[in-house]
Amino acid sequence: MSTLFEPYTLRELTIPNRVWMPPMCQYSAAPEGPETGAPADWHFAHYAARAAGGTGLIIVEATAVSPEGRISPYDLGIWNDTQVEAFRRITRFLVAQGTVPAIQLAHSGRKASTDRPWKGGAPVGTDAYGWRPLGPSPLAFDERHPVPAELSVAEIQEIVRQFADAARRALAAGFEVAELHGAHGYLINEFLSPHSNRRTDAYGGSYENRTRFALEVVDAVREVWPDDKPLFFRISATDWLEEDGWTADDTVRFAAQLHEHGIDLLDVSTGGNASGVRIPVGPGYQVPFAARVKNETPMPVAAVGLITDAEQAEKIVANGEADAVLLGRELLRNPSFARLAARELGADVHVPDQYHRSV
């Protein structure tokens, strides 16, 4: 029997297998007009292909809780009802294929208002649909990015409300899981790390103050998200800095708190909050961070980071390093990874009737 293809239950939701798709921005939404931020044909085809390929859970890419929360003008958003209706087309199809639809709710903070990666990813101004980014402190991410506007306490509280409103809309759009984006140098991560948070009020300084915003977001979303549905949190387990950064020890401590506040699974990644750092990238390089959280806290975890083949994924789950694996680049290369991995491991996975001749 394959552990990778055993069902997994969180709260009252059962996910058919442990092969999951992480959020990966497609930068393919309309930048202006009534369809701004709404998923289009590209998004439907992209997610539908992975669902038809047997993926157990698909987390739709970082979806902004407000227009200024987008990474680029071409990102998805869920701040209005037009966007909700467009998402329903995707969630209906995923459910029909036996895939659990999830969505990552996000605010990009100081790394907002950039061009698409294949256009260089540089910050853009108002002449290219851009805006001034926001952040916990007036510190630019790097020399290319502008200094963000420092958020007031009232503005922080408004963003907390925006996350809750986005969760309500995600539920209306048919999503079964919501994930809060607390990783990769975006707004929640910026508050967590002393590298990017230099505030001297109740939202900065001590560990307790730096985690305040994140926990307020969690509490606000958990209040509106149904008790029978799971809530995930994506974290960068380390800034990869030798000092003055968020650390693996902080992550373990915070994971236990998140669990107490109603987070059901920690999606463990790393990096993204400090420019120019050296990251020892290699197969499964982030898995040890997930394994440590799983071993030292009651929090279930999903592992990411160059997980590329069935045997590797099977070992991670079977050895108890993680409860599930999230495959990013590999699912971009191969939408049917889950079906092929199941065949290799002697397991069963959903196959659409139209594809039975491929089994």
Instruction: Find the distance separating the first CA and the last CA of the chain, reported in whole Å.
Output: 19
Query: Whose CA is closest to 108, among 54, 162, 167, 58?
Result: 162
To the query of whether residue 8 is one of the catalytic residues in this protein, the response is no
Single-letter amino acid, residue 204? G
User: Residue 14 and residue 17: Cα distance in Å, rounded?
Assistant: 9
Q: Locate tokens 């001034």: which residue?
A: 132
Per annotation, catalytic residue among 129, 186, 203, 207: 186
Query: Whose CA is closest to 146, among 184, 110, 195?
Result: 110
User: Residue 160 and residue 139: Cα distance in Å, rounded?
Assistant: 21
The structure tokens listed for 147 are: 């200094």
Query: Whose CA is closest to 293, among 257, 324, 251, 258?
Result: 251
List of residues 6+ apart from 205 with CB closer than 8 A: 199
Cα dihedral sign, 166-113-85-59: negative
Query: Whose CA is closest to 166, among 234, 27, 263, 64?
Result: 64
Going by the DSSP 8-state scheme, the letter that residue 341 receives in this structure is H
Going by the DSSP 8-state scheme, the letter that residue 227 receives in this structure is T
User: Residue 14 and residue 138: Cα distance in Å, rounded?
Assistant: 43
The structure tokens listed for 124 are: 């853009």
Beta strands in 65-194 (DSSP E): 76-77, 100-106, 134-135, 149-150, 177-182
User: Residue 283 and residue 263: Cα distance in Å, rounded?
Assistant: 28
Query: Whose CA is closest to 108, among 193, 213, 181, 36?
Result: 181
Partner residues linked to 233 by β-bridges = 180, 266
Beta carbons of 181 and 62 less than 8 angstroms apart: yes
What positions carry a catalytic annotation?
A: 186
